[in-house]
Amino acid sequence: MSASLLGKASDKGLLSFGVHDLRDWTYDRHRTVDDTPYGGGPGMVMKPSPWGEALDDVLTPSARLVVPTPSGRPFTQAVAAEMAAGDHLVFACGRYEGIDSRVMRHYAPLVRVDEVSIGDYVLAGGEVAVLVMIEAISRLVPGVLGNFESVTDDSFAPGRMETLVEGPVFTKPRDWRGQAVPDVLMSGHHGRIARWRRDEAFRRTAALRPDLLARLDPAGLDKHDRKLLESLDLAVDPGRVAK
Ligand code: JB8
């Protein structure tokens, strides 16, 4: 968090970060934060008491509590944007099999509590998921990105007419190891370039993210788009993809 974009943002005072060690809120010789699960089963569960002591100290009335877990609701660009509007986010990083559920229940009447998942895979703990979320959220805070980068162009930016993945990008040299940059990008025809990029975005989305394509708003499609989509060999019947 002190490197690169986040470090510069915190140097500029746009954001500030704090990190806490849960064991600072333990009082036994071994600074114990885990115990065996009620009901049996493998692994260990994080004890509620250190979490309660820590969160009582760290949370403020305007804070939101964010708990990464593979069983949470998906962390999306829309969630990132909503969190970027908040003034204080507290991330509770679990280890082992997770945090005793009563902790989240306890704080829900006091602050907004969100259990969120960054994807369908299992990490060893919440810290890396939180770093991912902090990066996605921070770049949406005004002033964090430089003038060259714009958040409105992103593939997943909410409010964009279609939610497509971006097509390929190219820079100099024009020829590299026998591969030329597509002629249309050298043509200077801004209309044709925009249309080519849109076509490539549709092609890539159809191939790699049929779930996104199935959610496309047909009102945002013109005749050319519809013709292109008909020509694509869709990996999944859009009608059969879950909402
Ligand atoms: C223990 O995959 B994850 C994730 C995995 C975890 C914990 C939190 C998040 C805590 N394992 O996002």
Nearest Cα neighbor of 44 from 28, 33, 55 is: 33
pLDDT at 233 (0 to 100): 76
pLDDT at 159 (0 to 100): 53
User: Is the distance from the beta carbon of residue 133 to the nearest atom of ligand 1 less than 6 Å?
Assistant: no
pTM of the complete model = 0.92
pLDDT at 157 (0 to 100): 64
Q: In angstroms, what is the span from residue 211 Cα to ligand 1's centroid?
A: 25
Could you tell me the mean pLDDT of each successive run of 10 residues in the chain, 243 residues long?
Answer: 94 97 98 98 98 98 98 97 98 98 99 98 98 97 81 64 87 98 98 98 96 91 94 62 40
pLDDT at 106 (0 to 100): 99
Strand order in the sheet with 64-74: 89-91, 64-74, 112-117
Q: How far apart are CA 118 and CA 95, in angstroms?
A: 16
Catalytic annotation present for 70 = yes
Q: In angstroms, what is the span from residue 202 Cα to ligand 1's centroid?
A: 33
